[in-house]
Amino acid sequence: MGLKDMLKVLVVDDMSTSRGIILQALDGLGIHHVEYAGDGKAAMLQARTNRPHLVISDLYMPGVNGLQLLQHLRRDPATRRTGFILTTGRSERKVLETGRCLGMNNFLAKPFTPAQLKMAIEAVVGRL
């Protein structure tokens, strides 16, 4: 059984189209243990309950944004070591610096290809 067969991923994005693109790309990569949340608050609860290995989160969401989600995950002993990839269509330098300071493992600028997503994931969890 390979890594992609065991890997549990949580996709967080308030835009159903963006979530769908990521979910479809993960399926194409053979990653099938995938859950999703439509906002950061729901993602916090799901991550605590289901303990994903990796969270792929949009930055700009209402309520709890991607950086706030990351901060919450890093503070909670149950999710502190969860891999985290931040995605956004607006890659501002300050956002990236803040993400790195909070413990972001990788960043992926939208739009991205399935190949770019795969490389971003492998940089965090290892070869799929």
The answer to whether position 126 is within a domain reads no
At 2, the pLDDT band (50, 70, 90 cuts) reads confident
The answer to whether position 128 is within a domain reads no
pLDDT at position 92: 85
Indicate the number of domains in the chain: 1
Range of the domain at 97: 3-121
CATH code (residue 99):
3.40.50.2300
Give the model confidence (pLDDT) of 49-99 as tens digits. 999 999 999 999 999 999 999 999 999 999 999 999 999 988 789 999 999
SS3 of 68, please?
A: helix
The answer to whether position 38 is within a domain reads yes
The answer to whether position 27 is within a domain reads yes
